[in-house]
Amino acid sequence: MPRNDSFAARRRFLQSLGAGAGMALFTRRGLFAETLKLKPTASTTEGPFYPDKMPLDTDNDLLIINDSITPAVGEVTYLTGRVLTTTAQPIKNAFVEIWQVDSTASYVHTKGRQPTGNDQNFQGYGRFLTDSKGEYYFRTIKPISYTLMGAFRTAHIHFAISKNGKRMFTTQLLVKGLPDNARDGVVKNIDPKALDTLLVDFRPIAASRIGELAANFDLVLGQTLEELEDGKLRGGVAISEVQHPRR
């Protein structure tokens, strides 16, 4: 990506978060009636490559590390969505984490990198605290399929959600229509009726001059707000970790 385009895209992205205008880029579903039960998003394994050492930058723009002028390689994607209960209530202040491989198929993990090297300009991990509407925003790259440590995986992005310092949910976003999905061992173990909750379209943004994509992934948790607030869920990311991330 040219330097000027990279800075302009980053500026537009960060400005959109403050103004709430970023969602204008995407077609969003309307709010559901409270009596309508939403289908819970399927849960999957966290996987072995959650960062064992956090990157120097852990914000929601994975393409630029701190003040670097060199962006990561890949198809730029604006990834957005909401965290909701099954009655469509937004879950605010939920701690959303994502992590994925870079364009070389390497994770930010000491055992999750390809022997040929990795993209040192890709953050690999990001986090965001949902707003009052339960919305989250990330700028990242479209995931790619890979073989790592002898195991094949279709393209995916890992998600983890915590609330009040407790990890409550993990799953993996999958690329809708990707043939590789059919030969992925993790995907094969997902109930076919639940699989569609993980399949996401990556659509070109018509106004983009550099081929940027948009993807929307709403996460519906099978718990009520009362259950999320009671503090009795299994342990996960500590509250202090939100404000003072590990380096």
The predicted-structure confidence for 139-148, as pLDDT tens digits, reads as follows 999 999 999 9
Q: For 24, which DSSP code? A: G
Instruction: Let me know if 158 is exposed, middle or buried by CB neighbors in 10 A (0-12, 13-18, 19+).
Output: buried
Check residue 245 and give its pLDDT.
38
Q: Report which secondary-structure segment, H or E, holds 98.
A: strand 95-99
Q: For 95, which DSSP code? A: E
Query: What's the pLDDT band for 229 if we cut at 50, 70, 90?
Result: confident
Q: Is 82 a residue whose pLDDT tops 60? A: yes
pLDDT in tens, 13-64: 555 554 444 444 444 444 444 456 899 999 999 999 999 999 889 999 999 9
pLDDT in tens, 85-118: 999 999 999 999 999 999 999 999 999 999 999 9
pTM of this prediction? 0.81
Q: How far is 101 from 231, CA to CA, in rounded Å?
A: 32
Q: Which residues contact 187 (CB under 8 A, 6 or more apart)?
A: 154, 174, 181, 195
Contact status, residue 212 vs residue 65, Cβ threshold 8 Å: no
- Distances from the Cα of 145 to the Cα of 104, 219, 236, angstroms: 10, 22, 28
Pick the CATH number of 3-243 from 3.50.4.10, 2.60.130.10, 1.20.1740.10, 1.10.645.10: 2.60.130.10
pLDDT in tens, 157-176: 999 999 988 999 999 999 99
Q: Which residues are catalytic?
A: 107, 146, 153, 156, 158
Q: How far is 51 from 60, CA to CA, in rounded Å?
A: 15
Check residue 22 and give its pLDDT.
43
Check residue 225 and give its pLDDT.
75
